[in-house]
Structure 1
Amino acid sequence: MSKIRVKGKHVVLSLVCLVLGFLMAFSYHLTQLEMNKGKPNVSDGQWEQTLALRNQLINEEKTNRELQKELSQKQDLVFKNEKDLSKEAEVYENLAEDAEKYRMFLGKVKVKGKGVKITLTDGAYDPKEDNINNYLVHEHHVFKVVNELYISGAAAVAINGQRLTSHSYIICNGPVITVDGIEHPAPFIISAIGDPEVLSSSINLIGGVKDQLVNDNIIFTLEKDNEIVLDPILGS
């Protein structure tokens, strides 16, 4: 009877060991599942390659951000340079316009524009007048007209087509006047480029240049012209 009991205990112990072994194996299996949870079903080599590509992508994105920042800085510099160049171009354009005006004032270039033409003619002969100079056009008559035109904003003035400059001189010599050494007979046509309305209004002021010339027996006419062309000074 004692031998049978010993064998029965062995059987029970074997069953217990079997159950424990099963539980341990099951527990290990669950642990492995938890550890591998979320891990792609790929080989170690593929996993390492994927990780390397991911890191490379991160580095490339970082490099792109740095390049984008550098590009933005370069663009700001380009915009600044363009703005500076625009200012310089504006300055040069203004200088070019000033130079063109100076050449025009000096009579270096041909000019064309609106303006007025004033004609001064000797007065009619009066046998009762002892002094012939009392009805002739003299240099001071021409000076009055020329000065008034310049004061009124004339950009260019000519006498019988001859351009005047700031150094021009006019001399009366009997029935003719000499402009910068060149003689001109009457009538004297004074052409001026500028605003026709302003120039004519200035000349026609009551008690102004026109009235003074008429009082000196000078025949005075004024006409507005939409296109006056003045040639440059000879030898300029």
Structure 2
Amino acid sequence: MKQRKLRKLNLKKKANSNRVILSLVSLVLGFMVAFSFRLTQDEGDNSKGLTDRQWEQQLRLRNELNEQEQKNRELQKELHAKQEKVRNIETNLSKEAQVFFNMAEDAEKYRMFLGKVKVSGEGVKVTLADGEYNSKEENINNYLVHEHHVFKVINELYISGAAAIAINGQRIAHNSYILCTGPVITVDGYQHPAPFEITAIGDPNILSSALNITGGVKDQLVNDQIVFTLEEMKDIKMEPILGN
């Protein structure tokens, strides 16, 4: 009887002990669950805050990029405007350079025409000689070269583009004068006997064609009993006119 009561008492104590242990376990589990939930919530909040900061940073960078692109577009417009300005300046300079080149070229032509500079180049040589005298003719002057014959050749050469002309090596200028005195002609005070060699610097083909044209200068002089000889020259040199 006593043993049965003792056994019941032990069982009761054991049950109470199990109840206490179960309560402790439940308490620990509850704490762990609560802590885990809180930890998860904190981590979620932290994750959400980090995403916001990233978004703000991305938005800021995007705005900065847009601003930079806008500045780049403005700089490109400015660059295009300056490039257009440079092109306009280059065009104007090119035109001015062409004008200056033309002026320099014209000035050189005028200096050559005035006899201020030494010149050389290809051209032609025209020789005018007195015709063979016919004793049956009363007037010998009909067979002589006169100044108007020389003038015809010179004028035709200038019209055809001759840059410089000389008579018997004496260069003539824009204000030169030619006079005929019997069998000789006087050029700017210097006398020259026949035959008269007229040299001209220019395109030999053009000069020759102009003189040889049918009914032109050559035919007219030949009809006047003048011996006319034309020769194309590779190199003609003329010194500047001194004291002019």
What TM-score, normalized by structure 1, do the two folds share?
Answer: 0.74
Q: Which residue of 1 aligns with 2:8?
A: none
Q: Which residue of 1 aligns with 2:4?
A: none
Question: Could you say what the CA RMSD is over the residues aligned between the two structures, in angstroms?
Answer: 3.9
Question: Could you list the per-position Cα deviations for residues 137-156 of structure 1 after superposition, in whole angstroms to 9, with x for gaps in the alignment?
Answer: 11011111111112222222
Figure out how many residues of one structure are paired with residues of the other and give that number: 220
Counterpart among 147, 150, 161 of residue 139 in structure 1? 147
Give the secondary structure class of the aligned counterpart of 1:225.
Answer: strand
Contact 1:171-1:178 within 8 A present in 2 as well: yes
Q: Which has the larger radius of gyration?
A: 2
Question: Could you list the per-position Cα deviations for residues 102-130 of structure 1 after superposition, in whole angstroms to 9, with x for gaps in the alignment?
Answer: 21122211222221100111123333332
User: What is the CA-CA distance between 1:177 and the residue it aligns to?
Assistant: 1.1
Counterpart among 179, 184, 188 of residue 192 in structure 2? 184
2: CA distance, partners of 1:234 / 1:93: 27
Q: 1:74 to 1:186 in 2, by over 3 A?
A: same
Matches for 1:101-180 after TM superposition, within 5 Å: 101-180=109-188
Q: Which residue of 1 aligns with 2:10?
A: none
Question: Could you list the per-position Cα deviations for residues 201-230 of structure 1 after superposition, in whole angstroms to 9, with x for gaps in the alignment?
Answer: 221223222122122221111111111112
Q: Which residue of 1 aligns with 2:33?
A: 23
Question: Could you list the per-position Cα deviations for residues 78-120 of structure 1 after superposition, in whole angstroms to 9, with x for gaps in the alignment?
Answer: 5554444333323222221121112112221122222110011
Contact 1:113-1:193 within 8 A present in 2 as well: yes
Q: Which residue of 1 aligns with 2:209?
A: 201
The gaps in structure 2 that reach 5 residues or longer are 1-12, 51-56
Give the secondary structure class of the aligned counterpart of 2:137.
Answer: coil
Q: 1:83 to 1:178 in 2, by over 3 A?
A: same
Give the secondary structure class of the aligned counterpart of 2:103.
Answer: helix
2: CA distance, partners of 1:163 / 1:14: 137
2: CA distance, partners of 1:67 / 1:132: 91
1: CA distance, partners of 2:218 / 2:226: 9
> Which shifted more, 160-169 or 213-222?
160-169
User: What is the CA-CA distance between 1:28 and the residue it aligns to?
Assistant: 2.5
User: What is the CA-CA distance between 1:189 and the residue it aligns to?
Assistant: 0.6
1: CA distance, partners of 2:74 / 2:27: 67
1: CA distance, partners of 2:90 / 2:207: 43
User: What is the CA-CA distance between 1:188 and the residue it aligns to?
Assistant: 0.7
Question: Could you list the per-position Cα deviations for residues 146-182 of structure 1 after superposition, in whole angstroms to 9, with x for gaps in the alignment?
Answer: 1111222222221112222332221111111112222
Q: 1:78 to 1:27 in 2, by over 3 A?
A: farther
The gaps in structure 1 that reach 5 residues or longer are 41-50
Identity of aligned residues (%): 54
1: CA distance, partners of 2:99 / 2:213: 40
Give the secondary structure class of the aligned counterpart of 2:220.
Answer: helix
2: CA distance, partners of 1:102 / 1:26: 108
2: CA distance, partners of 1:142 / 1:186: 11
Q: 1:68 to 1:19 in 2, by over 3 A?
A: same
> Which shifted more, 112-121 or 12-21?
12-21
Give the secondary structure class of the aligned counterpart of 1:120.
Answer: strand
Q: 1:162 to 1:38 in 2, by over 3 A?
A: farther
Counterpart among 211, 222, 239 of residue 231 in structure 1? 239
Q: 1:98 to 1:28 in 2, by over 3 A?
A: farther
